[in-house]
Amino acid sequence: DTEVTQTPKHLVMGMTNKKSLKCEQHMGHRAMYWYKQKAKKPPELMFVYSYEKLSINESVPSRFSPECPNSSLLNLHLHALQPEDSALYLCASSQAMEGREKLFFGSGTQLSVL
């Protein structure tokens, strides 16, 4: 199994809503990542978890709250988002953050904030 699974595939939410994005991998990877991608741009790193602990936060606004309940799961909790937060949110995993091995990406959640 070399998949990173993300749910939901599409999400529409209002600015007062609370929602969560979910990500799962069963490759035994110990590093998991959240990226944000705007149309026609490269992905931008948001958060990195290493061994279930938050290792990197790229100065992301607090309306985005990551959580890593266990080594296979990664969540991104969303609250009071702005329309400019509309984007494709990609989850990824790799063997370890300290290595230089490839990242496996999920197919993403396309988020629209109204």
Partner 1 sequence: GNSVTQMEGPVTLSEEAFLTINCTYTATGYPSLFWYVQYPGEGLQLLLKATKADDKGSNKGFEATYRKETTSFHLEKGSVQVSDSAVYFCAFLAGGTSYGKLTFGQGTILTVHP
Query: Which spans of this chain sit near partner 1 (rule: CB under 8 A)?
Result: 4, 6, 31, 33, 40-43, 45, 48, 50, 55-56, 88, 90, 92, 97-98, 100-108, 110
Cβ distance 103 to 90 under 8 Å?
Answer: no
For tokens 């009071």, the residue is: 80
Q: Closest approach of Cβ 8 to partner 1, in Å?
A: 14
Structural tokens at position 44: 């931008």
What CA–CA distance (Å, rounded) separates 106 from 86? 18
* CB of 6 or CB of 66, closer to partner 1: 6
CA 99, 107, 35: angle at the middle one, nearest 5? Answer: 55
Smallest gap, in angstroms, from Cβ of residue 15 to partner 1? 25
CB of 28 to partner 1, least distance (A): 17
Strands 10-13 and 109-113: parallel
* Complex with partner 1: residue 17 or 37, whichever CB lies closer: 37
In angstroms, what is the minimal distance from the CB of 113 to partner 1? 19
